[in-house]
Amino acid sequence: MDIMTILREDYAKFPIEQNYKIYADDVYFQDPLTRFHGLKRYQKTIEFIQKWFKAPQLELYEIDRVEQLITTRWSLSWNTPLPWYPRIEITGKSEMRLNDRDLIISHIDYWDRSPLDVLKQHIKIRYEK
């Protein structure tokens, strides 16, 4: 199975049963909140999402490959386990660089919202007149 097919399947069932064989052991990951190296740390990040985020859903809108670069456009949503279970949504894109064995060596996520805007989704403000 090729990497594009595997990525489509992983997005469709995220965060359950992800295929980590497509990542190099020293993969670099970055998003607006964190950055790190290592497949084990990447797996722990996905496990955290699976354990603490309620009803996570990752929708893949676009996926393209040009040589050793894969780009995706997506939307990630979930309910945060706060007493009012706010539904949070982030849209963005990912850039994944491949090595010569078609393993992902770098996965960088770019959000269309700032981290502050994501945090604000957790707060319900009611104005009474």
Domain count, the chain: 1
Domain residues for the domain of 41 are 3-14+24-120
| 125 belongs to a structural domain | no
pLDDT of res. 129 = 54
Tens digits of residue pLDDT in 10-26: 999 999 999 999 999 99
Across the range 60-66, mean pLDDT stands at 97
Residue 94 in domain: yes
Instruction: Kindly state whether residue 29 falls inside one of the protein's structural domains.
Output: yes
Cβ burial, residue 80 (10 Å; 0-12/13-18/19+): middle
Highest mean pLDDT among 54-58, 92-96, 125-129: 92-96
Q: In this structure, is residue 129 part of a structural domain? A: no
Round to whole Å and give the CA distance between 73 and 84. 29
Please report whether residue 77 resides in a domain.
yes
Q: Over the stretch 71-90, which tens digit does the pLDDT of each residue have?
A: 999 999 999 988 888 899 99
User: Is 127 among the domain residues?
Assistant: no
Q: State the average pLDDT for the chain.
A: 92
Average the pLDDT over 23-48 and give the result.
96
Q: Are 123 and 114 in contact (CB under 8 A)?
A: no
Identify whether 19 is part of a domain.
Answer: no
- Asked, for residue 35, whether it belongs to a domain, the answer is yes
For residue 92, the one-letter residue type is G
Q: Indicate whether this model's pTM tops 0.85.
A: yes
CA distances from 106 to 57, 77, 96, 128 (A): 23, 23, 5, 48
The domain that contains 60 carries what CATH number? 3.10.450.50
